[in-house]
Structure 1
């Protein structure tokens, strides 16, 4: 990692901290609602110490994650967290260490070269450690963050089995959505999903178990949990944040990103995390501003051209908005009105490319043997790129990063799971079995063809054609509905809370839970998207404190 990149990122973050409005007094009873910026101000003013913060979060984890509703968002705590925090007592956030003393959770597929295992939620990797910190963890530590622990996740980022519930891992169990933690079906699967594979990272922030967290996404695993938990997230351009040291799915689409309570907090974390890394070639093409919080103003939406891929004159091609449940549709209509009131020009036009996604040669037929799936015995069609890159990339991670384990290849994981099926294969491993059938070297023509088709449909004829053709600053998607097209193109998305909805697609009644609004754009447009998201966030004020989890 280049020292100059780290230094510039730190200076930018500290400069913004000084520009931010004076925060109200930090109330320990409202840690669930305090922004990371508020916490940084409290640390800088000496109103709280890093040790006190860690103790307060540990108390909340004990009360709500281990006890009470048992959210199960935190898979493991860092045994050194209090000791690390103690070294930051009296150290104020600064240009050198903008995150000094701030407790952050990282998803348990992100390597830490300390006493914490890195498991991806798999029993096969229980106790496995890493040779070193992932690059993003090094950047967090250099900025002064206290790594509080590892967040639970969907096992192997939801690539082990077909129809595995979001937030379930054989090692960590089931993450619950904090807005409806008691609602579950007969198998203990949440009625209100906690979101995609970064479920634990999202629930932990929503429930006030940390100041912020880091998750990962291949297609929807940041956006969906952020939507379900009322958070801000940035799914960056592939290459903005180094992937070195992250247990992979597919290098074509994998990225890490922040989970926060505000747009400003997400921008502050991007200032720290966006840096070139010789261990990740994708970062060498990186383009970023000196300061992601510059231009976060309430009038940033004025004059922006926002694409809404929903044309009333073309209802049969209204793939993103046409099938929204009534409450979600009403919420999106309100969001569009807010954007217009802020001075945005709304461009309504269908995005025909959706018909190409999942088209010829891009998916593989895999028999669903998951006994708990409603679709068992039918053929699922996961992406070819995911299955082929999974074996190749996972074997490289196990070779180059994993220690303290006898597991050396994907073949070893499959064999371990079969030998321990009663504990490891509640939902099967159909995707891993399909991936095992590939050569594992990415030499197959079907893989190369599928990747080319993904880029043609999602990038060339998708986002590029849509944004360029309509001269757009961003595309507005409901919830995580646009995740696949941006992810396959490797393009960024920024999500902001959009309000509350209730009920399920199959008619079950539920308490209110969040639904997000996503701004997506071309490569390296994170700064523009953050400015637009900030303007919407400030005008709409849709994020509400989570009910029912008072101070322990």
Structure 2
């Protein structure tokens, strides 16, 4: 098990040779099949699933290959810092899945597939769920979040935990995305001096670098889609309420959701099929079972035929790439409708959203902390965490402060009229704006450029976001949002966003899959130290 920094446990760093030495001769042919195809980074999740089902690959060899790659790429070489820890029983999990298959039980396309999980999602085992903070160093709950339990039931191997922007990037307005006191700074595999965005920084970087078959991220506003965009992979933020949030370190019950980050849309659909479903202890998911299904069904290059696609063109978008993407959509049979968004009051939505996030952070984090098993974490409120950070300023506050935490701690509660008004205003305006765009223009999905290219990581100087962001409206409204690689801008990846109405997750994935197949825009990272801006 690998760990960036000692927490409540110790571990030995896995080296590639040591990992492979643990593989018995019975898996030699499966390992040889991986080598024959080049190496593990040449396989998408769906290809690995086909190999496992067909008997040419097995989970043990695949898991060992990913552990070796983490040791070679994340711990040394480029040293991405995308993975905080790997589970010591990962190979045992894999062997159990292989034994089931030999006995005639096949659980589906997640059977034996290794995934990495953002370290604000609880996973049973000897690894703390820290949200990147030393304040949660002892948070070994030995319980699976329901979304993890669903993935295990589908056969997934939980390989390890990914780094993130500490506290999901809500601690300070001057934070550097991708940094946490537990995991350090995550690097972008397309240029090691560039940012991997946040807060699902490690999940985005790890997916791009093929450190697992797929990864789990979480989003409140942009935390799945931005890391997917800047790392050149696929990220899907589902409709809020399609995936349970229980046992996930929270920011906002109004906007939080988990979702997959993968190298293809089909892979994201496979993972979402396993993750989605109602949870009686998460009220937002009451309708999830009614809407969930097999999200890989109907994925076809022909899915765009007859679709009306609304276009939001940001002034800062890369015109060449965006126009090329529109041309691909037209080639696929889509009818393009240019949307007028000039009357949307984004400033008012943003002001209301910030108030909502502050109030819900204070209330929801306290609820999470107070619901932890006894004796793990002494902190019970946001004020306690603020005090911990102050007492450990040399490690926690060395690069930026906790101004957003301090502002949130002044909130009056979830019955405060100012909070309730902000919630009604922000959610109401965002939902109305999107619903009117869909209805008045009779469009099935809306596209926009997800992000600008990655900026240089400068610890202590905050983030220098560039280009557009498509995340706010679907984040505040709780609508599905998919980012698919669109190509390189200034030598760095940017994504194309597909946004759909609430619960229309499947349609969004269909549109994104068709575009992906037509564009083939994903670029394999080469881990350069930097990239020259054009």
Q: Distance in 2 between matches of 1:125 and 1:449?
A: 33
The answer on 1:77 being equivalent to 2:77 is: no
Question: C-alpha distance in 2, partners of 1:447/1:385?
Answer: 6
1:38-67 deviation digits (Å, cap 9, x = unpaired): 111112222222221121111111111111
* TM-superposed deviation, 1:472: 0.6
Q: Which runs of 5+ in 2 are unaligned?
A: 1-32, 452-468, 529-534
Pair 1:517 & 2:519 matched? no
Change (3 A) 1:30 1:546: farther
- Structure 1 counterpart of 2:64: 55
Displacement of 1:82: 1.7
1:323 to 310, 316, 331: 316
CA positional deviation for 1:166: 1.1
CA distance in 1, matches of 2:373, 2:152: 20
Provide the aligned length of Structure 1 versus Structure 2.
473
From 223, 227, 230, the equivalent of 1:228 is 230
Deviation sequence 1:228-282 (CA, Å, 0-9, x none)? 1111121100000001111011110000000111111111111111111101111
Paired with 1:280 and 1:392, the residues of 2 have a C-alpha distance of 16
Preserved contact between residue 274 and residue 288 of structure 1 (Cα < 8 Å)? no
Shift of 1:299: 0.9
Deviations 1:495-523 (A, max 9, x none): 11111112xxxxxxxxx221111110110
Partner of residue 271, structure 2 = 269
Q: Return the alpha-carbon distance in structure 1 between the equivalents of residues 235 and 436 of structure 2.
A: 25
Deviation at 1:360, TM superposition (A): 8.9
How far apart are 1:538 and its partner, in Å? 0.7
2:485 aligned with 1:497 = yes
Matches within 5 A, 1:87-166: 87-92=96-101, 96-130=107-141, 132-166=143-177
Q: What per-residue deviation string (whole Å, max 9, x for no partner) do you get for residues 10-40 of structure 1?
A: xxxxxxxxxxxxxxx6546332231101111
Q: Shift of the alpha carbon at 1:162?
A: 1.3
CA pair 478-361 structure 1, distance change in 2 beyond 3 A: closer
1:518 match: secondary structure: strand
Q: Return the TM-score normalized by structure 1.
A: 0.83
- State the distance in 1 between where 2:92 and 2:350 align: 55
Q: Secondary structure of 1:129's partner?
A: coil
Q: 1:281 to 1:131 in 2, by over 3 A?
A: farther
Matched residues in 2 for 1:199 and 1:487: separation?
A: 18
| Structure 1 residue 284, shift from structure 2 partner | 0.6
- Cα deviation for residue 542 of structure 1 reads 0.7
**Contact 1:94/1:100 (CA < 8 Å) preserved in 2?**
no
Deviation per CA, 1:105-136: give whole Å up to 9, x if none. Answer: 00000011321110000011113122521000
1:299 is aligned, of 299, 302, 306, to 302
Deviations 1:149-201 (A, max 9, x none): 110000010001112111111111100000101x2xxxxxxxx2202200101
- Partners of 1:402 and 1:228 lie apart in 2 by 37
| Aligned counterpart for 2:186 among listed residues 151, 169, 175 | 175
C-alpha distance in 1 between matches for 2:343 and 2:143: 41
- 1:468 is aligned, of 439, 447, 451, to 439
The match for 2:366 is 395
Contact conserved, 2:245 with 2:257, CA < 8 A, in 1? yes
Out of 318, 335, 338, which is 2:328 matched to? 338
State which drifts further: 149-158 or 345-354: 345-354
> Partners in 2 of 1:241 and 1:212 — Cα distance?
17
For residues 213 and 359 of structure 1, the distance between their equivalents in structure 2, rounded to whole angstroms, comes to: 30
Q: Deviations over 1:282-341 (max 9, x none)?
A: 11122425321111111110111111124xxxxxxxxxx2122xxx22101100011111
Is the Cα–Cα contact under 8 Å of residues 277 and 292 in structure 2 kept in the other structure?
no
In 2, the alpha carbon distance for the partners of 1:331 and 1:34 equals 27
CA contact (8 A) 2:82 2:202 kept: yes
State yes or no: 1:246 paired with 2:248: yes
SS in 1 for 2:483: strand
